[in-house]
C-alpha cells in the first residue's frame, strides 16, 4: 500500500495563476472562468478529483460528456479502466491520488482542445501542480505530456522513461481511451508505466 501523502506545500504562496495562493481559491476562479469559448457549452467546470494531499497526480486531456455532467474527471469508461489499472498496479484508489485535466471544460463533441484553449487554461493546471506539490506526475496521452513537457513528440515516443518536470518527476503514459482502443499491448505498456511511477513514488 502506498502512503505517499504530502502536505499542501505550495499553499500560502503565489502560484502561476495571478493572485491565487490556495487550491480552494484556484478552484473558485476556475468555476467562474469565462476566458475561452468552451465556457459557453459546459454543464460543469471539471476542476479535479481525488486527494489534493497525495504524492501522485494524474493529468488527462479534457472532460468528456460524462465528466461534464458529473463535474468530476475520468468518471466514464476511460476513468474506470484507469481506476482499475491503478488499483491493480499501485494498490490505491482516488483517495491515494489527485487527478485533473489540461483543459477544464468539455470541448464540443469531444474534439481535441484547440491550442488557444490550452494556452488560456494551462495556468490552472500549472497552479494545481504547484499547490498540490506531487512527487510524481503521470500524464495520460499526448496532450498532457506535450503541454507539461513543452515537446511535440507523441506519447508512443515519450513513454518508457521518466522526465524532470518543475522540480518533480513526470512519467508519460497512454490515455486510457487509447488502451480501450488498443487492447492488450497498450494496457500492458500502461501497466509498466504505472509500475515506473510507483517505484519513483516510493523511492527515498
Ligand atoms: N478523458 C480525459 O482526458 N479526461 C477526462 O476527465 C475524461 C476523459
- The span from the CA of 26 to the CA of 197, in Å, is 27
The pLDDT score that the predictor gives to residue 16 is 83
Give the CATH number, domain containing residue 189: 3.40.470.10
CA of 179 relative to ligand 1 center, distance in Å: 13
**Which residue among 38, 50, 143, 177 has the greatest number of ligand 1 atoms within 8 angstroms of its CB, and so is best to mutate?**
177
Each residue's pLDDT tens digit, 85-142 = 999 999 999 999 999 999 999 999 999 999 999 999 999 999 999 999 999 999 999 9
Residue 180 lies in a domain: yes
The pLDDT score that the predictor gives to residue 2 is 54
CA of 204 relative to ligand 1 center, distance in Å: 31
**Which residue among 50, 57, 62, 98 has the greatest number of ligand 1 atoms within 8 angstroms of its CB, and so is best to mutate?**
62
Buried-state track 165-203, b at ≥16 Cβ within 10 A, e below 16: beebbbbbbbbbbbbeeeeeebbebbbebbebbbebbee
The residues near 32 (Cβ < 8 Å, ≥ 6 apart) are none
- Collapsed DSSP state (helix, strand, coil) of residue 165: strand
- The span from the CA of 46 to the CA of 4, in Å, is 25
Residue 4 lies in a domain: no
Closest ligand 1 atom number to CA of residue 141: 3
Residue 58 lies in a domain: yes
CA of 147 relative to ligand 1 center, distance in Å: 15
H or E element, residue 81: helix 77-90
Q: Tell me whether strands 136-140 and 163-165 are parallel, antiparallel or unpaired.
A: unpaired
- Collapsed DSSP state (helix, strand, coil) of residue 54: strand
Residue 81 lies in a domain: yes
Cell numbers of 82, please? 484507469
Residues 154/58/187/200 CA torsion (nearest 10 deg): 90
Q: Which domain covers residue 82, as residue numbers?
A: 23-202
Q: Is 147 in the pocket of ligand 1 (CB under 6 A)?
A: no
pTM over 0.85: yes
Each residue's pLDDT tens digit, 160-177 = 999 999 999 999 999 999
Radius of gyration of the chain (CA): 16
Cell numbers of 54, please? 497525495
Candidates 79, 81, 83, 80; CA nearest to 94 is 83
Residue 17 lies in a domain: no
Q: How many structural domains comprise the chain?
A: 1
Evaluated on CA atoms 31, 48, 146, 169, the torsion sign reads positive
Closest ligand 1 atom number to CA of residue 78: 8
Mean pLDDT within 20-41: 96
**Could you count the other beta carbons within 10 Å of the beta carbon of residue 75?**
19
Q: Is 172 in the pocket of ligand 1 (CB under 6 A)?
A: no
Amino acid at each position: 500500500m502506498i502512503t505517499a501523502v504530502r502536505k499542501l506545500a505550495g499553499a500560502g504562496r503565489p502560484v502561476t495563476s495571478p493572485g491565487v495562493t490556495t487550491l480552494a481559491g484556484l478552484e473558485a476562479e476556475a468555476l467562474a472562468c469565462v476566458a475561452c469559448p468552451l465556457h459557453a457549452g459546459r454543464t460543469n467546470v471539471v476542476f479535479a478529483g481525488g486527494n489534493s494531499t497525495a504524492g501522485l497526480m494524474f493529468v488527462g486531456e479534457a472532460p468528456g460528456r460524462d465528466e461534464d455532467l458529473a463535474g468530476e474527471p475520468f468518471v466514464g469508461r476511460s476513468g474506470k479502466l484507469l481506476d482499475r489499472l491503478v488499483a491493480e498496479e499501485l494498490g490505491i484508489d482516488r483517495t491515494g491520488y489527485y487527478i485533473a485535466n489540461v483543459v477544464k471544460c468539455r470541448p464540443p463533441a469531444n474534439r481535441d482542445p484547440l491550442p488557444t484553449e490550452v494556452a488560456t487554461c494551462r495556468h490552472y493546471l500549472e497552479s494545481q501542480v504547484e499547490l498540490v506539490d506531487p512527487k510524481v506526475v503521470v500524464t495520460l496521452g499526448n496532450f498532457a505530456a506535450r503541454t507539461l513537457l513543452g515537446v511535440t513528440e507523441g506519447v508512443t515516443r515519450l513513454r518508457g522513461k521518466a522526465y524532470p518536470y518543475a522540480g518533480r518527476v513526470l512519467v508519460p503514459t497512454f490515455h486510457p481511451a487509447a488502451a480501450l482502443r488498443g487492447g492488450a499491448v497498450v494496457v500492458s505498456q500502461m501497466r509498466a508505466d504505472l509500475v515506473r511511477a510507483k517505484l519513483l513514488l516510493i523511492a527515498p
